[in-house]
Structure formats: structure tokens, C-alpha cells
């Protein structure tokens, strides 16, 4: 079945440094790739997304890149701050056999930004 | 996100009991989803629905049931057949439009007494 692999599972960086989280998906028909940030006990919140017809998207300190050929996409956070500490999930969206959008999530990356 | 509500925030289940988690959205979204999240784990899909009166099983549907009688509502029942129901349950909704993403409700934490 479809699968999304996410690495690393934990990541510690010094405040001000950059953080990179990588995901690989298996379904070549996937056309949309959101990234969510989840703080402890809270709901996942969308932070950035990218569609399959775009190679890169940036929003202030956050950027996402997509390599459709390799089926890789990555989240880049620059100038990290303590409030960036959370669990980050990638996801890939595709259509199932009934024509319904279905999301496959990565297993998450726990990011710790050390002050 | 404010357009998706889940209740209750905490739910306690006794042995052999069925419990129902509520999910309502006022975003006019066609698709709704239920996910289970165990501590320190990712999100696993339980059930999802694109239209009223139709739904599909996700990866871990055993021990759960759903209904979609109204576009706005997608309740999840955790049956007694689900032997390990303790988890954080997240409901989400999304448009069928390729332009829109999926948004999550605040979640229900289910605990077994």
C-alpha cells in the first residue's frame, strides 16, 4: 500500500541554526504535500504545503521543496527559535479507488530547539 | 480550524461499552476523516467519507464504526470490539477541490477505566 517515510524521528538544533526534515512517498499519483506542526496535546496545524506542479515554496522562515522524480519532499526551517519546538508531520495526498482524497502521514519528527 | 468541533474533549470508557465521539464542521467541506494517534506516534486513518451516506475503511477500521447522515457531521463509535481504544482521536475535514487542504478538529482523548 501507499507509504510515507519521514526522517529523522528526532532532531535537536541550536537556536538560530537550520532544521531539515525529509519525507519520501510511494504513490506516484500523489499531488499535494502538506506539513503540519503539532504541539503537545494539541491538534496538528498546517504550516506550509506544496502542490505537485511546484518545486519549491517559501513562507518567511519555512520552505518546502519537492522532487517528483525521486518522490522526495523536505521541510526547511531557518533561524530556528524555541517556539519551533514541536512534532512535525509530513503527508501525501492521493485519490483512492472511489475517487476520494486520502492522506498518508509520515511518522513525525520531534524537533527540539535548544536555547 | 475553528470550523471543526469535536466533543467531548475527554471520554472515559468502561469495559464492554460502546462510546461515540462527535465531529461537526461548518466549513461546507465534502470530505471528513477520522484518525487515531497513540502517544509519540503518527496519525493512522480509521475511516473517511467523501459524500453523505458513503464512507470507506482506512488502515485501522476494525473495532470502529461511523455514519455520515449529514454533510456537517461524521460521528465515530468505538465499539467493545476495539480492545485497546486508549488514544487521541482527531477528526479532519477537507474540500473535494484540489485547491484546498485538510483541517483538524481539537481532538478527543479516550481513556479506558
Q: Which residues contact B112 (CB under 8 A, 6 or more apart)?
A: B12, B13, B14, B15, B85, B86
- Residue of chain A whose Cα is closest to the Cα of B50: A100
Residue with cell 506542479: A53
Model confidence at B1, pLDDT cuts 50, 70, 90, reads low
Nearest C-alpha neighbor of A89 from the set A32, A21, A26? A21
Instruction: Answer yes or no: are the C-beta atoms of B35 and B42 closer than 8 Å.
Output: no
* pLDDT score of B41: 85
Option in A45, A100, A107 nearest B48 (CB):
A100
Which parts of chain A register pLDDT below 50? Answer: none
List pLDDT tens digits, range B42-85.
899 999 998 999 999 999 999 999 999 999 999 999 998 888 99
Q: Does A89 touch chain B (CB under 8 A)?
A: yes
The reply to whether residue A96 touches residue B1, judged by beta carbons under 8 angstroms, is: no
The x, y and z cell numbers of residue B109, run together, are: 482523548
* pLDDT score of A97: 81
Residues of A in contact with B101 (CB under 8 A): 32, 34, 46, 49
C-alpha dihedral sign at A21, A79, A86, B9: negative
Residue with cell 484546498: B100
The reply to whether residue A31 touches residue B1, judged by beta carbons under 8 angstroms, is: no
Model confidence at B98, pLDDT cuts 50, 70, 90, reads low
- From A31's Cα to the closest Cα of chain B, the distance in A is 9
Residues of B in contact with A45 (CB under 8 A): 1, 104
Q: Does A31 touch chain B (CB under 8 A)?
A: yes
The string of DSSP letters for B42-95 reads: -EEEEEEESSTT--EE-TT-TTEEE--SBTTB--EEE-TT-S---EEEEEEEE-
Which of A108-112, B19-23, B24-28, B96-100 has the least mean pLDDT? Answer: B96-100
Q: What is the DSSP letter of B17?
A: -
CA distance A49 to B22: 28
Amino acid at each position: 500500500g501507499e507509504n510515507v517515510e519521514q526522517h529523522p524521528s528526532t532532531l535537536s538544533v541550536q537556536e538560530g541554526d537550520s532544521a531539515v526534515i525529509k519525507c519520501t512517498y510511494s504513490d506516484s499519483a500523489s499531488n499535494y504535500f502538506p506539513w503540519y506542526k503539532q504541539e503537545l496535546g494539541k491538534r496538528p496545524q498546517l504550516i506550509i504545503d506544496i502542490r505537485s506542479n511546484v518545486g519549491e515554496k517559501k513562507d518567511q522562515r519555512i520552505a518546502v521543496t519537492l522532487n517528483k522524480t525521486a518522490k522526495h519532499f523536505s521541510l526547511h526551517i531557518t533561524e530556528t527559535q524555541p517556539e519551533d519546538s514541536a512534532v512535525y508531520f509530513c503527508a501525501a495526498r492521493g485519490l483512492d479507488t472511489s475517487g476520494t482524497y486520502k492522506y498518508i502521514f509520515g511518522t513525525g519528527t520531534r524537533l527540539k530547539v535548544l536555547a | 480550524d475553528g470550523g471543526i468541533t469535536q466533543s467531548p474533549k475527554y471520554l472515559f470508557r468502561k469495559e464492554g461499552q460502546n462510546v461515540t465521539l462527535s465531529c461537526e464542521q461548518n466549513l461546507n467541506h465534502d470530505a471528513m476523516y477520522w484518525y487515531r494517534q497513540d502517544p509519540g506516534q503518527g496519525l493512522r486513518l480509521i475511516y473517511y467519507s467523501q459524500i453523505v451516506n458513503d464512507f470507506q475503511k482506512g488502515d485501522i477500521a476494525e473495532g470502529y464504526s461511523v455514519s455520515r447522515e449529514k454533510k456537517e457531521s461524521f460521528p465515530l463509535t468505538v465499539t467493545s470490539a476495539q480492545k485497546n481504544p486508549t488514544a487521541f482521536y482527531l477528526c479532519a475535514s477537507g474540500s473535494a477541490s484540489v485547491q484546498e487542504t485538510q483541517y483538524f478538529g481539537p481532538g478527543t482523548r479516550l481513556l479506558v477505566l
